[in-house]
Amino acid sequence: MRLVLDAMGGDHAPEAPVRGAVLFARERPEHEVVLVGDPARLRDSLSRGGGVPGNVHLHPASQVVDMGDQAFSAIRRKRDSSLRVGFELVRRGEAAALVSAGHSGAVMAGALLVLGRLPGVDRPAIATLLPALKGSGRCLLLDSGANVECRPEHLAQWAVLGSAYVRARLGLPRPRVAVLSNGEEPSKGTVLTRKAAELLRASDLNFVGYAEGRDLFSGDVEVVVTDGFTGNVVLKASEGVAAGMTGILRSAIERRGGLSEKLGALLLRPTFAGLKKMVDYAEHGGAPLLGIQGVGIVAHGRSSPRALQQALEAALQTAQVGGHAELTRCIAQAAAWLPVRQRGKRATGETLSD
Amino acid sequence: MRLVLDAMGGDHAPEAPVRGAVLFARERPEHEVVLVGDPARLRDSLSRGGGVPGNVHLHPASQVVDMGDQAFSAIRRKRDSSLRVGFELVRRGEAAALVSAGHSGAVMAGALLVLGRLPGVDRPAIATLLPALKGSGRCLLLDSGANVECRPEHLAQWAVLGSAYVRARLGLPRPRVAVLSNGEEPSKGTVLTRKAAELLRASDLNFVGYAEGRDLFSGDVEVVVTDGFTGNVVLKASEGVAAGMTGILRSAIERRGGLSEKLGALLLRPTFAGLKKMVDYAEHGGAPLLGIQGVGIVAHGRSSPRALQQALEAALQTAQVGGHAELTRCIAQAAAWLPVRQRGKRATGETLSD
């Protein structure tokens, strides 16, 4: 399979994407990575990285979408940006998926404007796979930040997409779906959550009602839908707690550190590795955009080479499990109960967060 | 000082409140606790707890607000409920503060209907003091769940109340205030957050703009305002991560556990105590209702005796730092820039989450 990596996107571009592509290509000799960006800078980065594997390719793009750019206008104006050129490769079938650690709003805009939405989907969502402690051990949160102001049918559409994705990627036949709320009782929540829950109660999904914040990590549900504002805030707060707790451990061990603390830390190293994995969920793997005509993966802006290697791995897995074909089937099937107010791409785009 | 404890509120009532009151009374012989509830059951619980300190008193109430009750109608109908009777003691000046681990919506309703709001405040908020890792080491999040649908001026009013509270309780002269959002750039957020930020930019508070989820624990801001839906979800997700991470540590040590893990855990015990403290923030201390004519503390429904002792301690400290007098002064001072659409108690109550 052939994957595109936006080599100019992210805080550490192009070094991190170049090194991430090389890591991936060495471990996956049967697949190919296309790095899109300024050829001179990419060659420069590649030359510093030692040998270049034969399955890493360069594709030129003269422009870059900056973090300060307005997402939709950047994709429209910068026709030779690495992001837009990368999406064009996917659209023409020259690559199976795109990964970018750049401006996430622009990744969404590129997916919408170049690839387009799946029929029956009003708004694509960013889907983040969280670690859980019991049950299936994973929970998919969507939307994680692309759509700030939402309508109930958006949440219901994401429930369909999320279920199909979890079924395909994790092999769970009937994932439990919930709407994120401030309490379990149906009387809780906002107008948005109550109307979304009403739609989902009438669906053929395995809808279990409201989930609270802690359920994201409890293993009691596999798909949780929410608006992108709440999703983003909740993800970043969770990262903050996780980073804070490992920070407390680290500083206690390093600074206060005592021989006994150091020895204790050494003995508990495998345990801490588990903790670190939980902390790193947002850094690693990348989050797929669900609801678009193709596979697009949003990676963290601060992604390291290793994180981008993981994001390419996520792109590969997502493309391999059937990409959007299964999602298309499920959304079509859901038409029986799911209202859609599909409008032009432009109208949708302009209400997205930029 | 005299404090009221709703002895019938919470999952473990009346045992947990009774034992919490006794713990507090023994450590604080110069203060008094009034347990409000069914006298026979309270005497029964007290008799099982060994000796009763002379500074623990009983006050009868024949009814109980149940978790399934509608908050406002329960306070109106159940005139002899422990919660309502407790608030009446505060209103008549017979106690300085009330603590309850019962139905948090009903605690809010009781505060509004019996004590009333501060002049200039549309809606009271639940304020939760979170642990941070740097700076002042604390961050006040409000609203933590009382008001699900909010207007910009509510957030601005809470910023004033939160600043005054942090100044008084933590002794910080000019706490940094932020609006919780899905990104730092002013273009991010919702209509609600953008309008609230606009109001706060024109204020005399130390407003620093938007805060992201992770800033709640970073020590970079001391007061963060948000709607009660987001506040509740973010708090519970943070609890979920913290509980999950300590769970990983515990299970790795207990089950996989190896002599080396057990020894490691023993050596790191003081470090883990710091972690546990971070996890327990929501359980311990209780959260004050800010914006009411008096001191009311919402404790977690699952509060243990020790948690209720801490909540009484929080009530004492809140009452001692001047209670609502300082808050009243600050809200009055803010009238220059702060719009208020104060209406009747009834109207406000009915838009609160029940």
Q: How confident is the model over A36-77, as pLDDT tens digits?
A: 999 999 999 999 877 789 999 999 999 999 988 888 999 999
| Statement to judge: residues B144 and B268 lie in one domain | yes
A residues 148-167 closer than 8 Å to B (CB): 148-149
Question: What's residue B263's pLDDT?
Answer: 75
Question: What's residue B342's pLDDT?
Answer: 52
Q: Which residues contact B234 (CB under 8 A, 6 or more apart)?
A: A213, A233, A234, A237, B141, B180, B213, B216, B226
CA nearest A241: which of A279, A283, A285? Answer: A279
* Closest B-chain CA to A211: B233
Instruction: Tell me the chain B residues in contact with residue A243 when contact means C-beta distances shorter than 8 Å.
Output: 214, 217
CA nearest B351: which of B231, B227, B223? Answer: B227
* Closest B-chain CA to A266: B264
Interchain contact B321–A (C-beta under 8 A): no
In a domain, B244, yes or no: yes
d(Cα B101, Cα A158) in Å, to the nearest integer?
36
**Assigned token pair, A219:** 């293993």
Instruction: With residue A167 as reference, give the H or E element that holds it.
Output: helix A152-170
| Residue-number span of the structural domain to which B318 is assigned | 1-124+291-322+333-354
A residues 103-142 closer than 8 Å to B (CB): 131-133
| Statement to judge: residues B236 and B146 lie in one domain | yes
Q: Which residues contact B171 (CB under 8 A, 6 or more apart)?
A: none
| Statement to judge: residues A149 and A197 lie in one domain | yes
d(Cα A305, Cα A27) in Å, to the nearest integer?
13
**Assigned token pair, B227:** 């709607």
| Statement to judge: residues B147 and B273 lie in one domain | yes
Question: What's residue B345's pLDDT?
Answer: 42
Q: Are strands B176-180 and B206-211 parallel, antiparallel or unpaired?
A: parallel
Interchain contact A202–B (C-beta under 8 A): no
d(Cα A25, Cα A46) in Å, to the nearest integer?
13
Q: Measure CB to CB from residue A145 to each of B182, B234, B265 and give the nearest one.
A: B182
Which of A282, A317, A346 is where one domain is finished?
A: A282
Give residue for tokens 């001692």. B320
- Band of residue A346 on the pLDDT scale cut at 50, 70, 90: very low
CA nearest B237: which of A12, A317, A299, A282? Answer: A282
| Statement to judge: residues B298 and B264 lie in one domain | no
| Statement to judge: residues A55 and A114 lie in one domain | yes
In a domain, B118, yes or no: yes
**Cβ–Cβ of A213/B237 closer than 8 Å?**
yes
Dihedral Cα A150, A153, A156, A158, nearest 10 deg: -50
Instruction: Tell me the chain A residues in contact with residue B260 when contact means C-beta distances shorter than 8 Å.
Output: 267
| Statement to judge: residues A107 and A79 lie in one domain | yes
The ipTM, to two decimals, is: 0.86
pLDDT surpassing 50 at residue A122: yes
**Cβ–Cβ of A240/B218 closer than 8 Å?**
yes
Q: What is the pLDDT of residues A149-188, one digit of tens each?
A: 899 999 999 999 999 999 988 888 999 999 999 988 888 8
Q: What is the pLDDT of residues A198-247, one digit of tens each?
A: 999 999 999 999 999 999 988 899 999 999 999 999 999 988 888 887 77
Number of domains in chain B: 2
Question: What's residue A322's pLDDT?
Answer: 62
Question: What's residue B289's pLDDT?
Answer: 93
pLDDT surpassing 60 at residue A133: yes
- Band of residue A24 on the pLDDT scale cut at 50, 70, 90: very high
d(Cα B68, Cα B71) in Å, to the nearest integer?
9
Alpha helices in chain B, H assignment, sequence order: 15-27, 39-48, 71-77, 82-91, 104-110, 152-170, 191-201, 228-251, 259-267, 269-279, 305-320, 324-333, 345-351
Is residue A343 within 8 A of residue A350, CB to CB? The reply is no
CATH number at residue A299: 3.40.718.10
d(Cα A178, Cα A184) in Å, to the nearest integer?
10
Q: Which residues contact B50 (CB under 8 A, 6 or more apart)?
A: none
pLDDT surpassing 70 at residue A321: yes
Is residue A168 within 8 A of residue A136, CB to CB? The reply is no
One-character DSSP codes across B44-84: HHHHHTSSPPTTEEEEE--B---TTS-HHHHHHH-TTBHHH
d(Cα A232, Cα A282) in Å, to the nearest integer?
11
In a domain, B328, yes or no: no
Which of A226, A253, A282 is where one domain is finished?
A: A282
Q: Measure CB to CB from residue A264 to each of B212, B241, B268 and give the nearest one.
A: B268
| Statement to judge: residues A113 and A17 lie in one domain | yes
Question: What's residue A186's pLDDT?
Answer: 87
**Cβ–Cβ of A234/B235 closer than 8 Å?**
no
**Assigned token pair, B64:** 């109980």
* pLDDT lower than 50: segments of chain B: 344-354
Q: Measure CB to CB from residue B244 to each of A133, A189, A267 and give the nearest one.
A: A133
| Statement to judge: residues B142 and B261 lie in one domain | yes
R_g of chain B computed on alpha carbons: 21
A residues 269-288 closer than 8 Å to B (CB): 270-271, 274-275, 278
d(Cα A79, Cα A84) in Å, to the nearest integer?
6
Rounded to whole angstroms, the maximal C-alpha distance in chain A is 65
Interchain contact B41–A (C-beta under 8 A): no
Interchain contact A67–B (C-beta under 8 A): no
**Cβ–Cβ of B248/A235 closer than 8 Å?**
no
**Cβ–Cβ of B237/A232 closer than 8 Å?**
no
- Band of residue A144 on the pLDDT scale cut at 50, 70, 90: very high
Question: What's residue A131's pLDDT?
Answer: 80
In a domain, B197, yes or no: yes
Q: Which residues contact A193 (CB under 8 A, 6 or more apart)?
A: A155, A179, A180, A181, A210
CA nearest B121: which of B175, B172, B160? Answer: B160
Which of B253, B283, B313 is where one domain is finished?
A: B283
Give residue for tokens 């987001």. B230
In a domain, B38, yes or no: yes
Instruction: Tell me the chain A residues in contact with residue B238 when contact means C-beta distances shorter than 8 Å.
Output: 213, 237-238, 240-241
pLDDT surpassing 90 at residue A9: yes
| Statement to judge: residues B179 and B276 lie in one domain | yes
**Cβ–Cβ of A133/B266 closer than 8 Å?**
no
Vertex B108: Cα angle to B102 and B111 (nearest 5): 110
| Statement to judge: residues B3 and B91 lie in one domain | yes
| Statement to judge: residues A295 and A207 lie in one domain | no
**Cβ–Cβ of A189/B229 closer than 8 Å?**
yes
Strand pairing partners for B128? B141
